[in-house]
Structure 1
Amino acid sequence: MKDLSEIKKHQLKLQLRYKQLIEQAYNLRQTDHAQSDISEYKAIKLLNKLNRLKYLNRENKQIPVSYN
């Protein structure tokens, strides 16, 4: 399993790329609809990855409870 800091670094990199794609999609909306849609689609796929990483990160933070 990857170290938590590596997961966090990857998460931050994906967030930056997501923001870039959303901005690109917005800027292209008036001039090139097809390219705007492609950028938005890529951003949605990245958002899905980010949500999965967030879920994995949440799972790792939970403290195991022992029942005696």
Structure 2
Amino acid sequence: MKTSLEIKTHQLKLQTRYKQLIEQAYNVRQTDHALSDISEYKAIKLLNKLNRLKYLHRDITPKALN
């Protein structure tokens, strides 16, 4: 099982890649529609991975029992 630090590092790498893909999709939107769509599709898939990772790695704090 991965440590918390490894998971956080992987999450940061994925976020950086996501931002690059979104920026690329935006920059080529007017000149190359196909490349823009491909970049946006890859970014959406990456965002889905990020959301799953965030869900699995969420901090679950025990609730106080009354």
Q: Compute the TM-score of the two structures, normalised by the length of structure 1.
A: 0.87
In angstroms, what is the RMSD of aligned CA positions?
A: 1.3
Aligned to 1:32: 32
CA deviation string 1:41-61 (max 9, x = no partner): 000000000000100111xx2
For structure 2, list consecutive stretches of 5 or more residues without a partner in the other structure: none
Aligned to 2:44: 44
What is the count of residue pairs matched by the alignment? 64
Aligned to 2:15: 15
Task: Flag the structure with higher helix content.
Answer: 1
For structure 1, list consecutive stretches of 5 or more residues without a partner in the other structure: none
Q: Compute the TM-score of the two structures, normalised by the length of structure 2.
A: 0.90
Letter in 2 for 1:28: V
Identity of aligned residues (%): 80
Structure 1: 4+ residue segments shifted above 4 A = none
